[in-house]
Amino acid sequence: MRTSQVLLYDTTLRDGAQHEGISFSLEDKLKITQKLDRFGIHYIEGGWPGSNPKDAEYFERVKDLELTQAKVAAFGSTRRADKAVEDDPQVQALLDAGTPVVTVVGKSWTLHVHDVLRTTLEENLRMISDTIAYLKAAGKEVVYDAEHFFDGYNADPEYAFATVQAAQDAGADWIVLADTNGSNMYWWIGEVVAEMHRRLHVPLGIHAHNDSELAVANSLAAVRAGATQVQGTINGIGERVGNANLCSIIPNLKLKMGIDCVSDEQLRMLTEVSRFVSEAANVAHNPQLPYVGETAFAHKGGIHVSAILRNVDSYQHIDPALVGNEKRVLVSELSGRGNLRYKARELGVEVTEEQIKAALAKIKELENKGFFFEGADASVELLLEREKPGYRPPFELVDFTTVVEHRQKRGLLAEATVKLRVNGEIVHTAAEGNGPVNALDKALRKAVLPHYPQLEDIQLTDYKVRILDADAATAATTRVMITTRNGRRSWITVGSSANIIEASWQALVDGLEYALSRGTSMSG
């Protein structure tokens, strides 16, 4: 069955907010609303106005936003059992939200009617019908969310159908079939949606959860069977293991199924929107998300990289630029010369094949000792530079010492002494810090700044330590990754040793040497 148009319904601000560890502020919700509108989302579900003060305030504030396309929807449930719809405060809150669209959730599964609502099957049908008719009479576009529809259809198909028929007869503009437990297979979803498409005349939508890792597949199967609205969240965030991921559904619809749910320009915003929502949610962006993750188009194996150097389509299913992402080539012990050749070109380093061969051998040797170059492009670039004839490091270590001691009235104190050879001159400095690495950093800078004052503004912004062989306990090999920044430019260097101080020293030195090898400004 061919569907020519699909409308996108985003539930990030409600379902996504149910994700463990995520709590959007009111300002976050408003900013996300504006971002989703520019991105081309057709419906934005802002929250449940009857459930908490923040959502109620959101619906007041969102009226002042100048949205270009999206309709904001308020979410709520059918009236309570044995209560007049006009007397139900939760239904009244839906009207008070002042949104053009309201989404009403109702029960489709006899188990829920009996055990959760604790009412009769007949009363549940009246609850659905009364609520939708009341909201339609108030001039609202009504989306009916048939909760647990597929489980309900499996248990009692005729009753499940009766619930959506009641919604249709009451005037619902949309009927959305929900796989609320995320338990159903895509072929079953497709069969049921196709059957509902034959029996109903109201446009259908799909709302899938990801408990069986099938939310995206189930959503696409529903579209093939006739659904013209797809609900989901950015990055698939949501309760338990999440909802259908719109960041996968949208490019699949547009690029794989030929359905223009967003424009080409809006599709190029996909990665930006994905990372924007992660930032607003204060969670790390998942690098392995399809289409939008940092590693979605990352190539590591030497054979793969060799192939994409000949034909980029050989190991990429789409051009990453279509979704605002980019191709990356990783350097590691699995690399071939093609990886380093590509990386050298990317980094702007001119090297010969012999220099690439020597640098690659060094990388494989160092990774065997615990180094990790995938995320440390600055250290890779330095390895390439050091293979050039006549390369001279800006400074060389003679020796260093670190001491940590407890001093009376001062508590723990760290001190480091560093002896370097800088431009043929021996420089000997000492510094105190709140730990041995901090003391080393200060002593190193104290030694080199008189010779290289351009390093004054270089800052260490991140310091990560990983234990590589935990079974060795305190004798374990330690890997240190350091991020250094100057202005808007940042770079990562790596060190590894059974001694955490030595590993830290390696990464610290590479961070400063890289800055000097790149010139004086580094602030682009």
DSSP 230-258: EEEBGGG--STT-B-BHHHHHHIIIIIS-
CA triplet 176, 252, 1: central angle to 5 degrees?
60
β-pair type (411-422, 425-433): antiparallel
Q: Looking at the structure, tell me whether residues 135 and 47 fall in a common domain.
A: yes
Domain boundary among 386, 409, 439: 386
- The pLDDT of residue 360 is 78
Q: Looking at the structure, tell me whether residues 427 and 328 fall in a common domain.
A: no
Domain boundary among 326, 361, 386: 386
Asked whether residue 259 is assigned to any structural domain, the reply reads no
Q: How many CB atoms lie within 10 A of CB 78?
A: 26
Q: Looking at the structure, tell me whether residues 176 and 67 fall in a common domain.
A: yes
The sign one gets for the Cα dihedral 261, 264, 265, 268 is positive
Give residues with Cβ within 8 angstroms of 113, minimum separation 6. Answer: 107, 119, 120, 121, 124
Asked whether residue 289 is assigned to any structural domain, the reply reads no
Asked whether residue 266 is assigned to any structural domain, the reply reads no
Strands, E, within 274-366: which ranges? 298-299, 328-329
- CATH assignment of the domain containing 419: 3.30.160.270
Q: Looking at the structure, tell me whether residues 152 and 32 fall in a common domain.
A: yes
Asked if 6 and 226 count as a contact pair (C-beta separation under 8 A), the reply is no
Asked whether residue 280 is assigned to any structural domain, the reply reads no
- The pLDDT of residue 307 is 56
Asked whether residue 6 is assigned to any structural domain, the reply reads no
Q: Quick one: residue 236, left, alpha or beta (phi over 0 = left, psi -120 to 50 = alpha)?
A: left
**Integer Rg of the chain from CA:** 30
pTM, rounded to two decimals:
0.74
Q: Looking at the structure, tell me whether residues 226 and 309 fall in a common domain.
A: no
Q: What is the number of domains present in the chain?
A: 3
- The pLDDT of residue 518 is 76
List the domain range (segments joined by +) for residue 323: 298-386
- CATH assignment of the domain containing 151: 3.20.20.70
Domain boundary among 330, 357, 386: 386
Q: Looking at the structure, tell me whether residues 501 and 358 fall in a common domain.
A: no
Q: Looking at the structure, tell me whether residues 311 and 198 fall in a common domain.
A: no
Q: Tokens for 131?
A: 């609520």
Q: Looking at the structure, tell me whether residues 243 and 352 fall in a common domain.
A: no
* Cα distances (angstroms) measured from residue 390 to each of 226, 361, 508: 68, 20, 23
- The pLDDT of residue 3 is 65
Q: Tokens for 286?
A: 């998942």
| Tens-level pLDDT at each residue, the chain (524 residues) | 556 789 999 999 999 888 988 888 899 999 999 999 999 999 999 999 977 888 889 999 999 999 999 999 999 999 999 889 999 999 999 999 999 999 999 999 889 889 988 999 999 899 999 999 999 999 999 999 999 999 999 999 999 999 999 999 999 999 999 999 999 999 999 999 999 999 999 999 999 999 999 999 999 999 999 999 999 999 999 999 999 999 999 999 999 999 989 999 999 999 999 999 998 888 888 888 999 988 777 665 555 555 555 566 666 788 889 999 877 665 655 556 667 677 777 777 787 888 778 877 877 777 777 777 766 788 888 878 888 888 888 888 898 899 988 777 777 888 999 998 988 889 999 998 888 888 988 999 899 999 998 888 888 888 888 877 666 666 678 888 888 888 778 888 888 888 888 888 888 888 888 888 876 444 44
Asked whether residue 376 is assigned to any structural domain, the reply reads yes
- The pLDDT of residue 300 is 59
Q: Looking at the structure, tell me whether residues 138 and 61 fall in a common domain.
A: yes
Determine the 3-state secondary structure of 292 from DSSP. coil
Q: Looking at the structure, tell me whether residues 172 and 240 fall in a common domain.
A: yes
Asked whether residue 282 is assigned to any structural domain, the reply reads no
Q: How many CA atoms lie within 13 A of 158 on its CB side?
A: 0
- The pLDDT of residue 237 is 94
Asked whether residue 115 is assigned to any structural domain, the reply reads yes
Q: Looking at the structure, tell me whether residues 138 and 226 fall in a common domain.
A: yes
Determine the 3-state secondary structure of 155 from DSSP. helix
Q: Looking at the structure, tell me whether residues 402 and 372 fall in a common domain.
A: no
